[in-house]
């Protein structure tokens, strides 16, 4: 979020970055696991990170940080990612 105030460089924006990086990292790590149960656990962690990211963006919106259009698009993308993760986890369970 390049339009965050400079004093926010290491707080909300840092949390946003960590959560965003955690999502694909946990998917990748889980894919190396030997069982669907183990893989699903990493997908659950990834899903949790997506909800954390969503929350951080909602906080940014509440304090009017960043560009509104960018936030809204990111929130839509996160919602779609969450749906895909949940669907994939359901398929692993069967």
List the domains of the chain with CATH numbers: 8-93 (1.20.1440.60)
DSSP string, 12-73: HHHHHHHHHHHHHHHHHHHHTSSSHHHHHHHHHHHHHHHHHHHHHHHHHHHTT-S-HHHHHH
Please list, in sequence order, all residues whose beta carbon lies within 8 angstroms of the beta carbon of residue 39, skipping any fewer than 6 positions away.
30, 31, 33, 92
Which residue would you say has higher pLDDT here, 7 or 63?
63
pLDDT of residue 8: 62
Please list, in sequence order, all residues whose beta carbon lies within 8 angstroms of the beta carbon of residue 73, skipping any fewer than 6 positions away.
none
The residue-averaged pLDDT of 55-65 equals 90
| pLDDT band at residue 65 using 50, 70 and 90 as cut-offs | confident
pLDDT of residue 2: 52
Residue matched to tokens 């960043």: 66
Does this model's pTM top 0.75? My answer is yes
pLDDT at 26 > cutoff 90: yes
């Amino acid at each position: 979020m390049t339009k965050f105030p400079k004093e926010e460089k290491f707080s909300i924006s840092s949390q946003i970055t960590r959560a965003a990086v955690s999502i694909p990292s946990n998917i990748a790590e889980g894919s190396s696991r030997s069982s669907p149960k183990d893989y699903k656990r990493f997908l659950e962690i990834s899903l949790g990170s997506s909800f954390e990211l969503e929350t951080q963006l909602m906080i940014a919106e509440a304090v009017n940080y960043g560009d509104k259009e960018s936030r809204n698009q990111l929130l839509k993308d996160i919602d779609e990612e969450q749906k895909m993760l949940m669907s994939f986890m359901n398929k692993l369970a069967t």
